[in-house]
Amino acid sequence: MSGNRVKVGIVGLGRWAKVLTRAARASEALEIVSGFSRSEESRAAFQNEFGVKSAPDLASLLGDPAIKGVILTVPNEQHLPLAREVAKAGKHVYTEKPIASTLEEGLAIEALEKTHGVTVTVGHSARLMAGIRAIGKAIEAGELGRVAFMEANFSNERALELTPKAWRWYKDRAPGGPLSQLAIHQFDVLHYLGGEILEASSTASKLSPVGAEVDDQSMTVLKFVDGKIGYVGSSWTSPGVFCVRVFGAKGLMHYEIDFGTWDTPGELHKTSTLYIQRGKDGYGKREELPVPESDMFRAELDMFAESCRTGKANELNARNGNVALAVVYAALRSIDRQSQAVRIADIIAESHKKLAEGSRNVA
């Protein structure tokens, strides 16, 4: 199968590059054949650990005709400039979430698809978890009836460990704290499960004793275009948790993972919880459902490979990545306005306007 796998490069060789490279080893669709970091030491260490050839510079990696796409695992502010270089070289782009530091930059990355005829894949892998897909299939099949309410939480203890040396300490680099770093995953999951999001209202608080600039607690209420509502909570001062619950007229479903296996998703099924509670049956009649073995990181890389092969966008596309980021910015504005609801379409329209004005100024 090795000869049939799409060959890609990877830029930025830190912890997350290693997670994705391990996932790629199990893929029959994609092979990472070249890596680049500005650090010679990082390049050498990555090559020694994974056997992936290191490129001496970005131009060498992009100049390799065998490479059809490039994975970017770099700081958020580097996503746009590097994505632009990758797209100019005619390579398909994969970038970790969020799609960019700002929505304007995210929209500029989305525009690369038309400008250069490439696809952009964004690493919102949480929607690919087996339990989330099971809920999605149940909704689509009508098994839950009309869904009216959803709730989700993604929390961990990050704010208890922050120091001024960490980029997450600062409001301009991690706006909203867990809102932009954790809740964004759940915004994308609920977008997948619930459809288009109309507006967001949010509140936040700062309770960690370390003194970081960022808020460390957030709760965001979402209203969807079809009328359903939901909320996403995120604490940065608690043990790790990731859970989603969907309420329908015929039943509800709940999915929760052991956060300790986030970096090794092939193990998630061993400790995850998935159940359905039907009709008027009570708590004691919940039906525990088996969670299939899956690997969300391998799945997203396989999607990227298919986009590289066909030139067609997949569901982890730039548009969906920008919706998740727009919800973050709508929530941040809502916090500033004492929890006033903010329309997602307004945030996107304003960012399009800023992007167009910026382009005219450059011209």
Query: Which candidate, 1, 91, 7, 95, places its Cα nearest to that of 52?
Result: 7
* Structure confidence at residue 1 (pLDDT): 42
Edge-to-edge strands of the sheet including 120-122?
53-54, 30-36, 6-11, 69-72, 92-95, 120-122
Residue 72 pairs with which residues in a beta bridge? 11, 95
C-beta of residue 331 within 8 angstroms of C-beta of residue 200 = yes
Assigned superfamily of 127-294: Dihydrodipicolinate Reductase; domain 2 (3.30.360.10)
Residue 208, classified by CB atoms within 10 Å of its CB into exposed (0-12), middle (13-18) or buried (19+), is: buried
What is the percentage of the chain residues whose pLDDT exceeds 90?
A: 88
Q: Taken in order 187, 69, 175, 236, is the CA torsion positive or negative?
A: positive
The pTM of the full predicted model, rounded to 2 decimals, is: 0.94
- 247-283 in b/e form (b: 16+ CB < 10 A) is bbeebbbbbbbebeebeebbbbbeebebebbbeeeee
Model pLDDT for residues 149-189, shown as the tens digit of each residue: 999 999 999 999 999 999 899 998 889 999 999 999 999 99
Q: What is the mean pLDDT of residues 203-224?
A: 96
Q: Taking 50 as the threshold, does the pLDDT of residue 100 lie above it?
A: yes
Q: Distance between CA atoms of 59 and 66, rounded to whole angstroms?
A: 14
Tokens of 95: 């970038």
Residue 241 pairs with which residues in a beta bridge? 155
**Measured between alpha carbons, how far is residue 242 from residues 36, 129, 162, 233, 326 in Å?**
32, 11, 21, 10, 21
Q: Distance between CA atoms of 184 and 154, rounded to whole angstroms?
A: 9
Q: Could you tell me which CATH number the domain at 2-125+298-315 has?
A: 3.40.50.720
Residue with the two structure tokens 């530091």: 101
Contact partners, residue 28, CB within 8 Å, separation at least 6: 1, 4, 5
The domain locations on the chain are 2-125+298-315, 127-294
Q: Taking 80 as the threshold, does the pLDDT of residue 350 lie above it?
A: yes
Angle between helices 318-336 and 344-362 (to 10 degrees): 110
Q: What is the mean pLDDT of residues 11-23?
A: 95
Model pLDDT for residues 243-300, shown as the tens digit of each residue: 999 999 999 999 999 888 888 888 888 999 999 999 887 777 899 999 999 999 999 9
